[in-house]
A and B are shown apart, each in its own frame.
Chain A
């Protein structure tokens, strides 16, 4: 009889920090202690606190252990599982609540403000066992739709719920489904966009790894509503764990008759196949994705016609993002009112964010729409490491923009973010502190889009390259009067004339950093100075004559021979010879050298 469950995260983050080894070690230790019939090991999807991996939760106590190593296993088994004594040194110590070691996961500041809908089963069930999904009401929503609701009913429920696409655009899901429903055709398709490409975003991967059946169930519901009997999941080949779990889930669902012919004896047929993407960012754009599934080179095409009218193989197609699908079974089971009660007036429900950059709790969080950026960064995210100051956050990846510190109380929802020149995007949230140069950030994202532009249309192919060249000029200290204006003009043209979303949004990081941090651009151009001290070519190393003891340690260390002076009197750096390597700063024992 099982009296305790040990949940070990098998997501990509914890797998790379060694969680698979923990499972083996724990199995062996339980055998050795004769506890194998009392304790159950459950390999789950992502818990969200990836920075602290590998993580482990022991129920029924709900004890949350972080950074567990194989060496810790005997102690956990002996102390916790056998004797019931919690191993304090491994318990996740909540940074925001240092007074007490919080032992239960749900009591931590990281989880308290979260509200998990799309992630509700991630880190709770074993994604490779369909029975566990069924135990938490899995496939009940599909059954309900097929037996109780008409196709129009389901669209109405989605409409009432206010669900909007979670992939970035925020288009109302019900409207999309209605269009596909209205388009007459013998053959229609349901597609899941799992080509998550924004740098720093990994929520779709975590849903697929932690709760793949939720996506399958929602796709079957979509098939029923629009009259499709074939679905495709387009997932990146770089997500091997997600692909494997999807394959297992599809096989198990077919065995149970939850995919295939005559589902629940209602005469409804639906099946799903996986298509692997080769990692081109543009294939996350819906028309390029469909072209890629068809077997062609992943290039976008002109819309309209939209996929709901003329999509995959020229047939009406619903294409939704992973997180959007993950919400749908819950909406069907708990009702549109329940979903619409969360969030803001125009952005209902919750949104998953991948926190990254200069933040303590790197990981995955799901919060009601309208939570402020301050709450996300300081309460859930645990603030900025090293006592540094918050400078800005980038949302929406290379298509989005930055939110400066002055707007940290902005509620995070679709419309508020657009109003301040950023966008929700798929949910990557990169935090920057005072050491980040905003011109460099814009350059980073533009480098990404230049790399990923498919080359089909000129504004995106050539225009983004020209913008990048200007940014490189500025960060190298060769910027000149008129560069900012040239950037703005190029940005305007690229946005207006590019073929698809990639090009139309590519200039956003530049425009939004220009909007909030124009002074940093100007400092680079006119004063040849990087205010954050990040741009190497603009850095100036100087010796404070008051603090310098004249020991000559730095002069001996300097590989360029740029430092000179007389022993026991202050030394100086020749700026023309200095290669900005920073070796002198590390050498000086008196902190007399500074970088500006």
Chain B
């Protein structure tokens, strides 16, 4: 390494990989991962969220985590989005493709994808 620029490049590359350890900050995306959720396909949903959030450079402001049964098993995979100071948004019957839209529209641009929310499903 011969320059500060190279050092900065390593830092930027690695920063995403340790930011997880700063704990939960900002928006929280919670994927229901009980038996019902997993059998309905929550694993790929969770993994897509992690990938997309990283791809869109949102790791500083968004934490993806899992939780147990949310209680509405017929709507699994269920994903809840908690933003500080806002009402929680519950997305239901999620798929990896739907996740990509939620990340692009909701998490990145602040527009709730209302057609996937529980209000629309009922």
When A5-B20, A83-B66 are in contact, do A137 and B11 touch as well, CB less than 8 Å? yes
Contact residues in B for A486 (Cβ distance below 8 Å): none
A:28-45 near B, CB below 8 Å: 38, 42
The reply to whether A61 and B24 contact each other, CB–CB distance below 8 Å, is: yes
Docked complex Cα distance between A59 and B22 (Å): 8
B2: Cβ under 8 A from any A Cβ? yes
- Nearest-neighbour CB distance to chain A for B84, whole angstroms, equals 16
- Nearest-neighbour CB distance to chain A for B4, whole angstroms, equals 5
The reply to whether A1 and B15 contact each other, CB–CB distance below 8 Å, is: no
When A84-B31, A257-B1, A258-B1 are in contact, do A2 and B7 touch as well, CB less than 8 Å? no
Docked complex Cα distance between A519 and B11 (Å): 60
> B24 touches which one: A3, A60, A134 (CB < 8 A)?
A60
Contact residues in B for A85 (Cβ distance below 8 Å): 34, 67-68
- Nearest-neighbour CB distance to chain B for A206, whole angstroms, equals 18
A:106-132 near B, CB below 8 Å: 106, 124-125, 131-132
Which of B44-52, B86-94, B100-108 interfaces with chain A? B44-52
- Nearest-neighbour CB distance to chain A for B54, whole angstroms, equals 7
B:35-82 near A, CB below 8 Å: 35, 38, 46-47, 50-51, 54, 63-68
The reply to whether A4 and B11 contact each other, CB–CB distance below 8 Å, is: no
A147: Cβ under 8 A from any B Cβ? yes
Docked complex Cα distance between A60 and B64 (Å): 8
The reply to whether A132 and B14 contact each other, CB–CB distance below 8 Å, is: yes
- Nearest-neighbour CB distance to chain B for A129, whole angstroms, equals 9
> B7 touches which one: A4, A83, A139 (CB < 8 A)?
A139
Binary flags per residue of B5-45, CB closer than 8 Å to A gives 1, else 0: 00100110111011011011000001111110010000000
Contact residues in A for B3 (Cβ distance below 8 Å): 264-265
- Nearest-neighbour CB distance to chain A for B33, whole angstroms, equals 5
The reply to whether B10 and A59 contact each other, CB–CB distance below 8 Å, is: no
Closest to B19 in A: A135
Closest to B64 in A: A3
A62: Cβ under 8 A from any B Cβ? yes
A496: Cβ under 8 A from any B Cβ? no
The reply to whether B47 and A1 contact each other, CB–CB distance below 8 Å, is: yes
Docked complex Cα distance between A136 and B17 (Å): 10
Docked complex Cα distance between A140 and B34 (Å): 44
Docked complex Cα distance between A82 and B35 (Å): 10
The reply to whether B47 and A60 contact each other, CB–CB distance below 8 Å, is: no
The reply to whether B1 and A61 contact each other, CB–CB distance below 8 Å, is: no
Closest to A257 in B: B1
Contact residues in B for A139 (Cβ distance below 8 Å): 7
Contact residues in B for A59 (Cβ distance below 8 Å): 20-21, 23
The reply to whether A84 and B66 contact each other, CB–CB distance below 8 Å, is: yes
Contact residues in A for B63 (Cβ distance below 8 Å): 60
The reply to whether A106 and B11 contact each other, CB–CB distance below 8 Å, is: no
When A137-B11, A256-B1 are in contact, do A83 and B33 touch as well, CB less than 8 Å? yes
Binary flags per residue of A130-154, CB closer than 8 Å to B gives 1, else 0: 0110111111100100010000000
Contact residues in A for B35 (Cβ distance below 8 Å): 83
The reply to whether A134 and B10 contact each other, CB–CB distance below 8 Å, is: yes
- Nearest-neighbour CB distance to chain B for A32, whole angstroms, equals 15
A7: Cβ under 8 A from any B Cβ? yes
- Nearest-neighbour CB distance to chain B for A271, whole angstroms, equals 15
> Which one of A2, A38, A59, A147 has the greatest number of beta carbons of chain B within 10 Å?
A59
- Nearest-neighbour CB distance to chain A for B120, whole angstroms, equals 25
A104: Cβ under 8 A from any B Cβ? yes
- Nearest-neighbour CB distance to chain B for A114, whole angstroms, equals 15
Query: How many of chain A's residues have a CB under 8 angstroms from any CB in B?
Result: 37
When A82-B33, A135-B14, A256-B1 are in contact, do A1 and B50 touch as well, CB less than 8 Å? yes
Contact residues in A for B20 (Cβ distance below 8 Å): 2, 4-5, 59-60
> Which one of A7, A62, A83 has the greatest number of beta carbons of chain B within 10 Å?
A83
Closest to B11 in A: A134
Docked complex Cα distance between A96 and B60 (Å): 32
The reply to whether A5 and B46 contact each other, CB–CB distance below 8 Å, is: no
The reply to whether A140 and B11 contact each other, CB–CB distance below 8 Å, is: yes
The reply to whether B18 and A132 contact each other, CB–CB distance below 8 Å, is: yes
> Which one of B3, B20, B50 has the greatest number of beta carbons of chain A within 10 Å?
B20
Closest to A82 in B: B33
Docked complex Cα distance between A276 and B96 (Å): 55
Contact residues in B for A256 (Cβ distance below 8 Å): 1
When A1-B51, A132-B14, A135-B15 are in contact, do A84 and B67 touch as well, CB less than 8 Å? yes
Closest to A83 in B: B33
> Which one of B14, B34, B67 has the greatest number of beta carbons of chain A within 10 Å?
B14
- Nearest-neighbour CB distance to chain A for B76, whole angstroms, equals 13
Contact residues in A for B11 (Cβ distance below 8 Å): 134-135, 137-138, 140
The reply to whether B2 and A62 contact each other, CB–CB distance below 8 Å, is: no
The reply to whether A7 and B21 contact each other, CB–CB distance below 8 Å, is: yes
Binary flags per residue of A385-407, CB closer than 8 Å to B gives 1, else 0: 00000000000000000000000
The reply to whether A62 and B23 contact each other, CB–CB distance below 8 Å, is: yes
Docked complex Cα distance between A6 and B83 (Å): 25
- Nearest-neighbour CB distance to chain A for B6, whole angstroms, equals 9
The reply to whether A2 and B50 contact each other, CB–CB distance below 8 Å, is: yes
Closest to A146 in B: B4
Closest to B21 in A: A59
Contact residues in B for A3 (Cβ distance below 8 Å): 46-47, 50, 64
- Nearest-neighbour CB distance to chain B for A262, whole angstroms, equals 8
Contact residues in A for B33 (Cβ distance below 8 Å): 82-84
> B2 touches which one: A7, A125, A140, A257 (CB < 8 A)?
A257
A:518-559 near B, CB below 8 Å: none
Closest to A137 in B: B11
The reply to whether B54 and A1 contact each other, CB–CB distance below 8 Å, is: yes
> B21 touches which one: A104, A124, A143, A264 (CB < 8 A)?
A124
- Nearest-neighbour CB distance to chain B for A132, whole angstroms, equals 6
Contact residues in B for A104 (Cβ distance below 8 Å): 23
When A3-B50, A38-B47 are in contact, do A134 and B21 touch as well, CB less than 8 Å? no
Partner-B contacts on A (CB < 8 A):
1-5, 7, 38, 42, 59-62, 82-85, 104, 106, 124-125, 131-132, 134-140, 143, 147, 256-258, 262, 264-265
Q: What are 28 pairs between A and B in contact, CB < 8 Å?
A: A1-B47, A3-B50, A5-B21, A7-B21, A60-B24, A61-B23, A61-B24, A61-B65, A82-B33, A82-B38, A83-B34, A83-B35, A84-B65, A85-B34, A124-B18, A124-B21, A125-B18, A132-B14, A132-B18, A134-B7, A135-B10, A136-B18, A139-B7, A143-B4, A264-B1, A264-B2, A264-B3, A264-B4
